[in-house]
Structure formats: C-alpha cells, structure tokens
A and B are shown apart, each in its own frame.
Chain A
C-alpha cells in the first residue's frame, strides 16, 4: 500500500488521491490532472471543476467550456533547447539531444534507409491499411532480430509480436494489457529511469514503484539495493529493465549481475519487462546488446519486450517499434496477441506502414542488412571514441585525482556525469553547455572537436560549484522528463 501511494505522491505533489478514487477511475494519474492541480487558485480539482462547470453552464455562451484547463508546465527539455537556440555564444554545445549527431553535429539518415525508401518507391507499393498487429514481414523480422532466428521461442512460435508506435507506443500497449489482465499488479521501475515511463504507466493506470539503481557515490550500479528492492516487492510484480544502455545513466549490469537479477526475478515469480531502445546501438553488435533479453528467454521465463528502431535505424520520426510477449506456449502467444490487438484498435486502429516497410526491407535483404550493421558499428564507434576523448581530456586536465573512468564504463548515448543541479546550471550559465538538470549528457551530441572544451566545463563545475555536498541524481518532479522535442529529445 505504502509503495503505491508513494508512486502516486511523486506525481501529484499537491493533492492526495485515494487509491479508491483511482480504482474507480476518477483520478487521472496522468500529468494532465497534475497540471490542473498545480494551479493553486483552482484548489481541489474534483470539487472545483464541478462547481465551476455548473456556473459556466448557466452563464452565457461567452465563457469557454475549457476555461478551467490550466496551462501545462513548460517542458524542461524544450526549455533547454529553446535556451540553446537563443544563446549566441559560438562555443555553445547542446548535450540534451537524444538523437544521434554526426561529428559535424548534424542529424543523420542512414544510407540503408535511403536505399530502402528508394526501393519502396520504385516498387510502387500500395498504402492499404496494415492489419491491427502491423506488417507481418516486420513482425517476423523484429522478433528474429531480438531473439535470433534459431531461438526456440521463435521456432516454437511462443512470441506474440505486435507492431507498435516505436518504444513509447509498444510500452503503452503492454501497460494497457497489464492493467487489464493483471489488475493491481505493479511495475517496478529503476531509479532513475526515462521520465516518460512513469507517464505511460500513470495514463494506463498501472501502479508503479521504484527499485534502487543508480549509486551516486560510485557513479555506478547500486546492485545490492536493486536486488533488495526487487525481492521486497509483492510476488508477481512486473520488473521494468533496460535491455542495454540504460537511460539516463548509461550504467548496465554485468553479465554476472544479469544472472543474479534473473534469479531473484524467478524466485519471486516476477514478470520481466524489457525496454530495448538501443539494440545494436550500444555496443555496435545486435547480438551482444540482446544478450540480457536472450538470457531471460533461455531460462524459460515469460517476459515482455518493447523495441524501438528510432536510434539504431535512425527512424525517430517514423515511429516504428514492437511489443513482444514471450509465452510458455504457442497457444498462449496467440491469445495474448489477440488481446493486444483489442487494445490497439480503439487507440489508433492499425499502425503506420512506412517505417515498418523500411525495417522489413533492410533486415530482409542480406546486403542491406550487412550495410546496416556497418552503419550501426560506425555510430556506436563514434560514441565510444567521443567517450574515450572526453575521458582522456578529463584525466589530463583534472589534477584532483578524481576517477573519471565511469565515462568509459557507461554505455550508450547518455552519460550520467554525477553533476548536481547547481553544477549543471553552472555548465550552462558559465560554459554555454546545455544538458538536463540531473547531470545527464548526450554523447550523441558531442563531437571529438568539442571534448576538450567540455572537459574544462565539467571540471570547473564539479570542483567549484556544489550544493551541500549532496549529489542530486534525480529530481522528483514529474515534468522534468516530459519532452517536446522540436529539434531535441532525450531518448
């Protein structure tokens, strides 16, 4: 009970919502209601909204029916982007971006994607509705990519795969499925995690609580805390795990740690729920990046996996991903798939065809597939190089003896620098380096040429500005993570 209330409290700071109200569906855990709540003049929205409504109904037509709608808080990430755009300093650097940039800091459309699109246009394919579950060729390709074509779960047809709207959409389908078929079950999410995870579960009305993950002292994984919290949760909880390249920390468990995590999840009859947004993009190897998922599948467990092709195929705006549910039998997989469809139909009927065809074409053609692997290695390689250069610059310039090796140990697009809010503000105000207030930088937005400058900024901020010796690694305000990308997005 307490942990559920905690999860609600952290998203609705100024109102206490009884769980009774939530079960009745009256409370909207989504941020929309919080937006209203934050408008203090309105008071308790459940009372005020109604009485205001009665007043407005008898008043003349001049009053808007939506007068009571509060302005949602401005997006913190967008604010970063806007401030970056407004900044005229030539040295400015945007490390809030969650999209890959070249060394020239330009967006990148993969060559294989351009080739696939040209092929598609030449073929003159039609634009008929896809099935509710999406493009069959895509669904087959995506499951095989995740598990390996020879994996027993594939051969035994035990995976229910439904095309979804990139990672977010796939997570949302799964969340809605959990709400419907596992009522009351909660999802354990890492502290910290990608900010939109909470919004997704809130809007789907799935309770969540957190397990310890990031250890600010080591700038690494709080493994004991993680295991302990997973053990403490009620049996049969869902455990949200990042398949690789944890967002926002960049800190992944080691293979040995993954085995232990799997053990404790099995002991507790928990259901693993992987968010895989970086397969191939983290290490450069599609298989290596899928090893955590494959480990769990090999144990014979049932699990959920949300996939995204935003980063690894650079298909951000095409919204292409999938939800996969590994079941203990082909029959269960068929039933689960049919119910996922019933969730998708009243949400958007059927998914968009364009991104699905691109993926199917790239994965389905051996030449294109190999080219893709090479481009992915190139992207992952660039990020690794940048990590190395940043580490080298920091080590060379910083005389304090601080260990900066976490930059090399972390993996993926992001790095948790360990800088707190005040220090992050110094980065921006003094050095014109834009990052999120939790100290997360996007290496995808860093070029080799800028590493030295960034090192100077980090060293200065770290040593000269701190706040009560306390490291803030997570800001418990719900909207820090809401994104309105424009040009920039984190994840």
Chain B
C-alpha cells in the first residue's frame, strides 16, 4: 500500500486511493462502490456526489418498506420482528404507559445530558435482570454496564471496543444469523468468520458442526452467541449443549459475546431465558453481553439496551469502562434518556415489574399459540413435508425452510412479506391470518421448487 496516498492532493490520486482500498480488501459492499471519476476532477461540474450510487434498501427493514407500498387488503407483514396483537396492531405495554405517566407527572425531572455511560440506575438494573440479583460478579464490581442504543448499539460499541483493545480481531458468527450482524462487526473493524449452526436437513441445530468449527477457531477469538431464541432460525441449544459449548470455549480461551434480544420472550420466563448467559458468568470467566428491550418491553423506537462486560477483576472493569466512554463519545456523546427512564421505572418497582412479567408472558404465549395454529393449518391442508419445526423452534421467528423463489412467489401471489431467507415473524400472525399464510405456504411448496 503506497504511503504517499496518505494525503493525496489531486483527484487522480484519490481515484487511485479508492482503487487501492479495494485491492487492500477493505470491507465494503463493493457492488455499491463506484470507482468512477472523482467528483472534483472537473469532468462533472454538477455534483460532488455524482459517484455516489443508490444503496439498496436494507434487506430486513426494506420488507416493511415494500409492504407499505402494497395496496392489497390481504397483505401480511411477517418481516421485521415487531410484536403484533391478535388484531394485528402494534402493542404498547400497559406497564410502559404507566411508567410514562409517572415520568411526565414528575416535576423534578429534567432533560440534562446523561453521563456517557447512560442512566446509572438503568445500568445496574439491567445487569441484575440478566445476571441475577445475587450474582457474585456484580457484587464484586467486576461487571461494567453501559447504556447503548438497543441491541445494535450495544453490539457496535462492544465490537469497536474489542477491535481497539482485544488481542484478537476475529469474531465467529453462527450460520445463519441476523442480517445486520456481519455489517456491525465489519464496520467496527473486526474480521468476520462463521461457524456452522443451522442444519437444513433436520431444521434444527447442527451441534457437531458447531463444535467442530469452534474447536478449530483460533485461540482467543470472539464468538457471537444468541442468548436465546436464535434469530432467524428459532433453534436454540439445549442446556446440556450449552454446557458443552461453555467448556469448549473456556478451554480455547474463546471470548463469548452474547446477543440477548429476547429475554423473557422466548420461554415467557426471564430467568429461564437468562440461563445460558448465567452459566458463562458462573464459571468466573469473562464475556460481553448486548441486551435489548426492544421486544420484551416493546420499546422498539426508544432504542434502549445495554452493553455489559464481565471482567476478571474490578480494576479491569473500571479500566474497560473508561475506554468504552472513549468509543461512545465520538459516536453520539451520550445515550437518549427516555427509554432508559421507562425501563428503570419498571424494573425498580415491584408492582410494575410483576405486571411486566405477566404482559411479557402473554406475548410469548400468543406467539406459541400461533406456532401451534400454523402447524395445524398446514397439517390440515396436507402440505407436503415435515412442519414440526414450527412448534419446536422458539421465539419470535420461524425458519420455514422455504427458499427465496418460494418466498418471492408468496409475496407476489399472496402478498406475504417476509425476508428472503424464509424467516417469518410469528409475532405478525393472528388466528385470522394464519389460514391465508397456510394457503400461501401450501401453494409455494406445491408449485415452486
């Protein structure tokens, strides 16, 4: 790489440097990079942005964009994982409304900047929620928790920290995983590898492949783990399998980075859904955890989550926290207060907390019942294939096993909107709409290969 490219003074130098970046393998979606004439070269006087091509819609969020454009009265949005009621409406939890009322009526509340690390009360409560109130790591001050912008923000801040300070810059992500994961880690400066996870043959976990791939991972590498309700497959390891994963990872010094977006949403029980994470904390080892309250408290648009790093000692945790601030400050200075205040108000109040657990369980139960209904509907139609994975998988999503051609067919003919990997959001279904979906799947399976 030519060091003279450091501060090019001419447009041709800059064109060369764009090329050089491609050759150096800088991670980008290269099909969206233009290497045409640099704008101030004088050949195009109209715009300095003439070389900026139009980016495609985000594959997941773009589904909603497409859905919104469709005028069909039977259209169904099973794309993004946002909970819907039986009436197909978004839901704001009662307990959230109560908390908001409390906040708005509290005249002592101000809108002063939060600290860089966010609302302290929220941070403590979030750590306790995931790790358990009596967790020794918390009592020993070995955990640093910083408020971040939901799951995405927590992952990004954690990844930037690792890229700056951790010995290894490789992260292993499961195959498949949430579509935004690779982009987050790549832009943070990590290099992304995969480990086998989903087995299309069984529509379950490829445990052997997982173990083989983690065993051959470079020592000390980072490993992304979905804490529960794996997105997009809905396939989770059993507790025994988690224990094996834990032992394997600790023996190789692999650094766990948990993504927890569905605590309480998977089984309906907050503690049960936290077990895998707690196993890793209980062995005294270190880990990173990204938490989101988007789904389990329905606070999607408030962007509220937390990054926790469990360290060996309190001294390390303090130093790590100080460095996390240096990542956050040039990104957005300090996090937004509203969502954090709502979560803190609920978690610290016994009555609100209990109400929350009840509403959470109701959401989880509705999803479980949708799974059952869809399964029965397909059985009733005699749709070819084994559809039991619909009831075996857990959480908001089902990995149907449908291929992208079948998905296109369903969108075109039945106005069903879902991601092209065959993932459907069960949260977007209702008893009324299950038959339509079942018809669509049936037709797709029979007519499209």
Contacts and interface: CB of A to CB of B under 8 A. Distances in A.
A350 B301 CA distance: 8
A376 to B, nearest CB: 15
Interface stretch (A88-96, A257-265, A339-347, A433-441): A339-347
Interface string B299-311: 1111100000101
A167 B333 CA distance: 9
Nearest to B284: A61
B14 A36 contact: no
Interface string A4-24: 100000000000001110111
Contacts of A181: 49, 51-52
A66 B167 CA distance: 9
Interface string A313-351: 011111100000101110010111011011001111111
A9 to B, nearest CB: 13
A52 B166 CA distance: 11
A130 B61 CA distance: 10
A66 B311 contact: yes
Contacts of A203: 160, 327, 330-331
A287 interface: no
Interface in A195-252: 196, 199-200, 202-204, 207, 234-236
Contacts of B5: 23, 184
Chain B CB within 10 Å — which of A63, A196, A338 has the most? A338
B9 A234 contact: yes
Given A28-B164, A332-B52, A63 B312 contact: yes
B268 interface: no
Interface stretch (B18-26, B130-138, B271-279): B18-26
A35 B322 contact: yes
A319 B332 contact: yes
A341 B7 contact: no
A18 B3 contact: yes
Given A332-B49, A349-B150, A485-B334, A132 B115 contact: no
Interface residues of A, number: 115
Contact of B326 (A22, A72, A109, A302): A72
A65 B167 contact: yes
A20 B323 CA distance: 25
B204 interface: no
Contacts of B13: 184
A342 B52 CA distance: 12
Interface string A25-36: 100101111011
B203 interface: no
B26 to A, nearest CB: 7
B331 A25 contact: no
Contacts of B333: 165-169, 196, 319, 483
B316 interface: yes
A388 to B, nearest CB: 27
B8 A347 contact: no
A5 to B, nearest CB: 8
A25 B319 CA distance: 24
B80 interface: yes
A165 B336 contact: yes
A464 interface: no
B427 interface: no
Chain B CB within 10 A, most for which of A1, A335, A352, A353: A352
A346 B312 contact: no
Contact of A348 (B91, B104, B150, B164): B150
Interface residues of B, number: 114
B255 A65 contact: yes
Contacts of A118: 104
Interface string A56-76: 110001111111111110000
Contacts of A129: 61, 80, 82, 294, 300-301
Contacts of B193: none
Contacts of B331: 165, 168-169, 172, 203, 347
B339 to A, nearest CB: 7
Nearest to A36: B165
B15 to A, nearest CB: 10
Interface in B328-370: 329-339
Contact of A35 (B3, B111, B326): B326
Contacts of A127: 90, 92, 96, 298-302
Interface string B249-276: 0100101000000000000000000000
A207 B4 CA distance: 14
A299 interface: no
A23 B25 CA distance: 11
Interface stretch (B179-187, B395-403, B415-423): B179-187
A456 interface: no
B129 interface: no
Contacts of A318: 111, 336-338
Given A32-B165, A118-B104, A352 B40 contact: no
B286 interface: yes
Shortest beta-carbon contacts, A-B, top 10: A53-B167, A19-B6, A353-B301, A64-B312, A165-B332, A317-B337, A348-B149, A236-B40, A199-B330, A72-B322
13 contacts: A25-B26, A53-B168, A61-B250, A65-B220, A66-B311, A68-B165, A68-B167, A69-B165, A165-B333, A184-B14, A271-B48, A317-B336, A349-B180
Given A236-B38, A317-B113, A317-B336, 11 more contacts: A1-B4, A32-B164, A68-B165, A71-B319, A109-B110, A129-B301, A165-B332, A196-B333, A316-B112, A319-B336, A345-B180
